Amino acid sequence: MSMSSEQSPPTGRPLAPFHSALVATDATRAADGALRVAAGLAARDGTVITTVSTVEPAPYPQPVADLALAPTLLPPAEEEGQAARRHSILVQHEQLGLPAPSDLVVVSSVPLSAILFQAAHRKVDLVIMGLGRHAAVDRLFGSETALRAVREAERPVLAVPGTMEGLPRHAVVGMDFDESGLSAARMAARLVGPNGRLTLVHVDPLAEPLPAMLANLPPHALDRLNDAFARQLAQLDLPETLQVDTLSIAGVVGKELVLCAEGVGADVVVVGRHERGLFERLVLGSATTRVVRTATCAVMVVPREG
């Protein structure tokens, strides 16, 4: 069951730029796409980029491991590891044709812990990281690490395939006609920019897909969906230069969002992170998990505003 239409949003207010972002890299090809996206934001929005990387901490005896050591007290092997990583990151930027990072943080830490700490400490607008498919061998970049990040981060997280060449221009946005969907759509609009495209997708997780010959919605149902989308667009107040179309589908939420992105050629799927009842967390949480684990394009997960 599907319904698709193009909407004409009202002349809206300008999109807020990303003032600051954190990008994680392990100096491998898995991080190339994340670095390109970060560079694109810096060029388009003037975004201040913090680049973060981690190396393996040196093993300490337990009493010492519980202490926070000053950088001057780091073991020589750990200092050498951090210096080597800094050099590798500079080489990575040079090979990608990107400017050297102006704010580079290399620490000895568990990767995800360092990323989340730096993002919260610096109050960035966005966390950008790689979206690999080999979590068993990739300590920093893998779908399971990305999944943990989107579940735990207080900021929006954009997980990017290493092959991504630049900023997304077309986003598929999961919409549930609630504040979570609005937050996702607003962030998606900021990401693709005023000349980009949004496909707002509502997936009914309880309805059974109908045979093609019965797939046409009754007029009153179609009207209700159009009204719901119209109300959401009015609340979003998007620029008129942003192309927006809508789609309603019945099926498994995560699966349908990924298939939709592939079908329309979108380069990012954006979903909101829900903080609701147990049933909604089970259904929609599994949807986010499926999107992160199976999407071949970038994935952004947005915490609910406020």
Tokens of 58: 């040196």
Domains contained in the chain, number: 2
Does 146 share its domain with 174? Answer: no
CA distance 275 to 253: 17
In angstroms, the CA 113 to CA 111 distance is 6
- 157-160 and 126-130 beta bridge pairing: parallel
Phi, psi of 169 (to 5 degrees): -115, -20
> Are the CB atoms for 87 and 55 separated by under 8 Å?
no
Q: Are residues 130 and 238 in the same domain?
A: no
Mean pLDDT check: name the lowest of 24-38, 106-120, 132-146, 260-274.
132-146
User: For 160-172, what is each residue's pLDDT tens digit?
Assistant: 999 999 999 999 9
The residue type found at 252 is V
Claim to verify: residue 118 and residue 228 sit in the same structural domain: no
Secondary structure (3-state) at 296 = coil
The two three-digit tokens of residue 148, written as one number:
């943990």
Distance of CA 32 to the CA centre of its chain: 15
Q: What is the pLDDT of residue 280?
A: 42
Same domain assignment for residues 146 and 26: yes
Query: Which of 215-219, 243-247, 291-295 has the lowest average pLDDT?
Result: 215-219
Residues 236 and 277 in one domain: yes
Statement to judge: residues 10 and 28 lie in one domain: no
Cα separation, 85 vs 91, in Å, equals 10
CATH number (domain holding residue 41): 3.40.50.620
Output the 3-class SS for 48-82: EEEEEEEECCCCCCHHHHCCCCCHHHCCHHHHHHH
Taking the C-alpha atoms of residue 82 and residue 77, their distance in angstroms, rounded to an integer, is 9
The predicted-structure confidence for 277-294, as pLDDT tens digits, reads as follows: 444 444 445 788 889 888
- Is the domain of 149 the same as that of 63? yes
Average of per-residue pLDDT values in the chain: 83
* Residue finishing a domain among 117, 135, 160: 160
User: Based on the domain organization, do 152 and 191 belong to the same domain?
Assistant: no
Specify the pLDDT at position 77: 77
Which percentage of the chain shows pLDDT scores above 90?
53
pLDDT at 26 over 50: yes
How does pLDDT run across 45-67, given as a tens digit for each residue?
999 999 999 998 766 554 554 55
Residue 236 CB burial class (10 angstroms; 0-12, 13-18, ≥19): buried
* Statement to judge: residues 122 and 172 lie in one domain: no
The per-residue pLDDT for 104 is 97
CA–CA dist 263, 255 (Å, integer): 12
CB-CB contact of 107 with 74 (8 Å): no
Residue 97's domain comprises 20-160
